[in-house]
Structure 1
């Protein structure tokens, strides 16, 4: 009887180890801020944890990024930065993140990740379009530019959406960048005036919202969506977000 019990326990342990090792990939989610704290972050954490269970990947969450080291990052396939703001990494951590991407790994930025680390050129080049200003939250029409990209295959060509649409310091198309979502500026009021040079001008006929590209040996995906807390309960958004995470982690489309 004891021998049978021992065999059963060994089988269970082996199955558990296999399951843990069989997970698709490992993701590290950082939500640290050195500026504005988005309310939606508190919805994003449980939503991403549920998404990880649904799609069988490991997700570790750090309320504070520090310390990030080469040894720590080596455990992961993709780094998620969700609503981070300001300067959240030390110089040493910046170096570790650079080497992480250069080793062939992935990065995903959500919403305010483009309002982060303005003085770190490597990072701003990876993001591609850095936040400048935004109007009030409102409804507009999103347009799918690459319907075959993971997470967007079930989206219509145009989608009614409510969010906080960023105007970037430079919104022009960049070589090597692949744009999957844009917003139709004619469908919402771009007006915003924060004083000085912080006056909204819009981007005209092409206003990027989500994009991806290969970068410095690795992969980077960004989506401007994610300001409204309830969006993290919206299946279409979670499909879009997981598509970016999967591509950044695996390099597959």
Structure 2
């Protein structure tokens, strides 16, 4: 398996020896010094040949001499492309994954192959065998650097377009002109040297799709600063991006068409640090992490699904905040995700969330720190509501049935359907009031016969007892010396402190008909009322 090229050296040989022997060195340390490593530059061209390929190759060779790597070149003469006969290897290096593993990273320097029509039968930059070797190299931890027209190759190979970045392929470009590149992540090693707004003269690519959802965007183009022509991408026009892809590292820069780019020290340092990132030599700015990447790691994690759902919720909130440039809010959500994820005990997930935090912290001076804890904000609104009463379904009527055992009256009983009182009034609406629900009955009538409402009584009951809510008193009938429900009687009431919420109440109804009451089918109407009380 291809391993990232992490190499560190000391200031002096003596300090290096001390370290190798396990002796604590006393000498100071300088910046990391990388051992020599190998880089492959691919300029092979089947289609339009970019003049900068030679300049790019020579610039990379010189950068290698200055920064500890050597360069192999694959740029044979093919058709109208002269290649670089003095530099190119004699045969393809893409013979096997094992043969490619000698390279810390592979640079595709605008190797246009004329496959824009996406015809699978057309000759392409890498044939099936070469492509399989390259895929194995990437999946084994290899690095990829795409420069300018690297997105104008192998159009009929979806995997390659995903490697270069989110399926984005070259679509069109206007005439070369001045434009402003805007750095989106100033914390990545390949952008730390760049101004926030970078005005340059170049050939500016439009792409077939916006890759943002799948890649970590480093630089965008401001289309208000130039004429993008047909194929314009609008307010969000990514130009440089990176990603962790199938085990490897991918970095792409869409600029660099002009020969002058390859003598510009700022542009060259930008390219060098991108190359070093793909080789695993430098790290920072979140290491090109993306939210979809972390979601994939989370989905594969084992552990409590409820915990995973909690982490997912925090990640989604962070992504939404990032899209709105609310990076302090994104940091707060990521801290919550980080804490929740500890229960899953997944080192890879923990590392990826840490990368997200590093990325977001580089985008704002605000935001909480681990020491600050996680800020929790809430907006409490006492929204307006209502005081309402409803009665459970009772069909056409409540039927009273006769009970036996009474010698001084005829008694008929039934249960009152459940009455639901709901009080959602806010403090302004309710003031200092509680509420009361009451009932009052009309007389019972059967043809010409009448039985007064004083003969109907009830015994209220709270179905859902709550503090501050009381059932009304039992009401006796006239037979027992009471007033019955001829007058309004309390079914239930609530204090101002206990009024909010839902209360279910019912009652046992009983009708006491004096002996000798005329026979017949009697009917009455029980009216229930609800009102606020002071």
- TM-score, length-normalised on structure 2? 0.41
CA contact (8 A) 1:246 1:252 kept: yes
Alpha-carbon distance in structure 2 between the residues aligned to 1:113 and 1:101 = 16
* Aligned-partner Cα distance in 2 for 1:180–1:214: 14
Q: Report runs of 4+ in structure 1 exceeding 2 Å deviation.
A: 22-25, 64-67
Give the CA deviation at 1:24.
4.3
Q: Structure 1, residues 33-74: CA drift from partner, whole Å, max 9, x if none?
A: 110000111211111110101111121111137251223212
Q: 1:251 to 1:178 in 2, by over 3 A?
A: farther
What CA distance in whole angstroms lies between the structure 1 residues aligned with 2:281 and 2:93?
27
Q: Give the unaligned 5+ runs of structure 2.
A: 1-33, 77-90, 114-123, 284-534
Distance 2:238 2:37 in 1: 28
SS in 2 for 1:53: helix
| Separation (CA, whole Å) in 1 of partners of 2:171 and 2:233 | 12
Deviation digits for residues 109-163 of structure 1 (CA, Å, limit 9, x no counterpart): 1001000001111111111221001101100011011111113212111011011
Find out whether 1:187 has 2:187 as its counterpart: no
Distance 1:118 1:81 in 2: 14
Could you tell me which of 76, 79, 82 is aligned with 2:103? 76
Deviations 1:3-36 (Å, cap 9, x if unpaired)? xxxxxxxxxxxxxxxxxxx724321111001100
Any idea what SS the aligned residue of 2:273 has? helix
What does residue 135 of structure 1 align with?
174
1:172 shift after superposition: 4.7
SS of match in other structure, 1:247: helix
Check whether the contact 1:40–1:227 (CA below 8 A) recurs between aligned residues. yes
Q: Is contact 2:39–2:104 with CA below 8 Å preserved after alignment?
A: yes
Do residues 100 (structure 1) and 137 (structure 2) align? yes
In structure 1, the gaps of 5 or more residues are 1-21, 192-199
Residue 289 of structure 2 corresponds to residue 228 of structure 1: no
8 Å CA contact 1:32, 1:62 repeated in 2: yes
State the aligned residue count.
Answer: 223
In 2, Cα distance between equivalents of 1:67 and 1:235: 30
1:251 Cα offset (Å): 6.0
Partner SS, residue 269 of structure 2: helix
Partner Cα distance (1:79, 1:247) in 2? 12
Contact kept in structure 2, 1:79 and 1:107, CA below 8 Å: yes
Higher relative contact order (CA 8 A, sep 6+): 1
The structure richer in helix per residue is 1
Question: Retained in 2: the 8 A contact 1:23–1:58?
Answer: no
Q: C-alpha deviations, 1:156-197, integer Å up to 9, x for none?
A: 11011011111000025223x111111100000112xxxxxx
